[in-house]
Chains A and B, each alone.
Chain A
Amino acid sequence: MSELRDNLGRAKRAHQALRYPGNLAADVGQMILAPARAMPAIKPVRRNAWRWVLLGTGVAGTGIAATLALIVVIVVGAAHKRSQRLAMINSQAPQPLPAISLSGLPPLSLPSASFAQPARVSRDDTETNLFVGLPSLHDLPSISPDVPYTPISDSTQEPSS
């Protein structure tokens, strides 16, 4: 135990005999020794934190403004493109015909007989189309209880040629 203590005492003496090899002040430099020149970038930051707050706010504001501007440009561009497309589609669509005034046309007169009378067809045609040779409703006798029934003669069914 005393041997250990002796060695510890000897180590202590040797420890206390140690010296820094050189000049520490010269090693760390005159720049470090002078605080105003030593940390020109660090000290103002620590003391003026509000400057960083302002700087951060400015950067953030600029970023937000740029983002909003980008969004506006994109929206306006999309709307412009859409209107252009619509205009192109409208130009390709058929144009409405110009209105025609009927007042300038001559009056149309058609012979009423051509509408009223049935078309005359030959017998051969009636065989193929039975309903074509039916008499017009105008030619049918009116049915009334006061008028005695008269059978339809063949002359009505068989048009005279």
Chain B
Amino acid sequence: MLAAARQGDVAARAELLRRLQDTWYRYCYSQLGDGDNARDATQETALRFLQKLETFRGESALQTWSLGIALNVCRERRRCQRSDPGTLHEHDIVPEHATPAEDRVSQSEDRTRLSELMNALPPRQREAIVLRFFQDMRLEQVADTMGCAVGTVKATINQALRSLRKRWEKHS
């Protein structure tokens, strides 16, 4: 399918987008914190993905490679918005429609706290946390996506977790 998509087969390209659209949307949503903005970013990611598909050499998984595109799109959007990492709201990390109704009330306070802590993280640490824990990527994949060394990713994630833990205990 990938070969057909690279050769311009419309059906294959549409199928690729269908498989990757949720992954991109999740990542954009976690980084931009706004449904409309995330949707626009996802569409922009799709356009760039189709444009660059011919340059994909297969050195990494297609999903990892495409998430790198989404990461760049989100970084550019954040830079354009001039609002540091894009304010995440509680419903951005745990959207209302994704949680069972009975859990919503009890989890509301914790969600607020978690969203505040995530907002306080530097953009790089937030990217690493989302890719590693929310997207379930391996460290090598995170490093590929972020364009840095595995050691850098480890250090970044450790810093982020330490910061989250410290602030969580402080709030508790």
Contact = CB atoms under 8 A, between A and B. Distances in A.
Q: Do A and B share a complex?
A: yes
Interface of A: 1, 3-4, 7-8, 10-25, 27-28, 30, 32-36, 38-39
Interface string B9-31: 01001100110011011100110
By Cβ-Cβ distance, the 3 closest A-B pairs, closest first, are A17-B98, A24-B21, A14-B94
20 contacts: A4-B164, A14-B95, A15-B26, A15-B29, A15-B134, A16-B136, A17-B95, A18-B22, A18-B29, A20-B21, A20-B25, A20-B42, A23-B21, A24-B42, A25-B18, A28-B46, A32-B47, A33-B13, A33-B14, A39-B51
Contacts of B123: none
B43 A27 contact: yes
A25 B13 contact: yes
Interface residues of B, number: 40
Contacts of A17: 95, 98
A97 B158 CA distance: 112
Interface string B60-86: 000000000000000000000000000
B138 to A, nearest CB: 15
Main SS class of interface, B: helix
Contacts of A34: 8, 10
Contacts of A3: 110, 168, 172
Nearest to A30: B10
Contact of A32 (B21, B50, B95, B165): B50
A32 B52 CA distance: 12
B43 A18 contact: no
Given A27-B43, A33-B13, A14 B98 contact: yes
